Amino acid sequence: MLSRALRKNLAAVVGGVSLTVAPFVMAAPAHAAPQTYPTCQAEQLSLMLDDEGGAFNGMSQSGTLLVVRNIGAGPCQIQPLPLVQFANAAGHVLPVTRRAVGGPKPQPAMAAVAFMPEAELTARLHWVSGAVYDNAQCVSPAILVLALPSGSLSQPFARHMCAPAGATAFFDQMPLHPDVILPPAHPVAAPTVTP
């Protein structure tokens, strides 16, 4: 707000014309709403497991890469931590659950991940493969099942998983994220030395 004396001086400068000074207001930037896509249906996805040549194995540890591919005609979105279950050869689901990241406290909600046709999302699964715990309980599931609201996808598993006695939390699961394929490395020419 301008003082009375300043308004009087301004009026004198502009010949007695009354001035109104409006406060400066900065408009908030307009943000577009995030693009949303239909929820992926089980029939428009494929599932495979990639051990990456044993890259996850060592020191009684093991793991695999969960690879979800969009084989549908259009883009869709999926929750980043879909339910992963393990079953025996008869198809009965085993009491094998995911370890909570950061302990039992509630986990923050994560936004759905969208991907285009023929694109892939990957998530690393990790578990203890050796009986390193006192009184360890171990299982060897025959099937991995990715349970979705619209159905399920499965792959043969046949791996060994262990947990502490009395526990059902056998594995860690990272969120699904776009699969990044690095371009092949190009040889770098050696610098030329001029005498």
Q: Is the pLDDT of residue 15 over 60?
A: no
pTM above 0.75?
no
122-152 in b/e burial notation, b at 16+ Cβ within 10 A?
bbbbebbbeeeeeeebeeebbbbbbebeeee
Gap between the terminal Cα atoms of the chain: 75
pLDDT in tens, 125-166: 999 999 898 889 999 999 999 999 999 999 999 999 999 999
Minimum mean pLDDT among 14-18, 24-28, 31-35, 154-158: which range?
24-28
Whole-number Å distance between alpha carbons of 84 and 127: 13
pLDDT computed for residue 114 by the predictor: 95
pLDDT computed for residue 105 by the predictor: 61
User: If pLDDT is split at 50, 70 and 90, which confidence band does 92 have?
Assistant: very high
User: If pLDDT is split at 50, 70 and 90, which confidence band does 53 have?
Assistant: confident
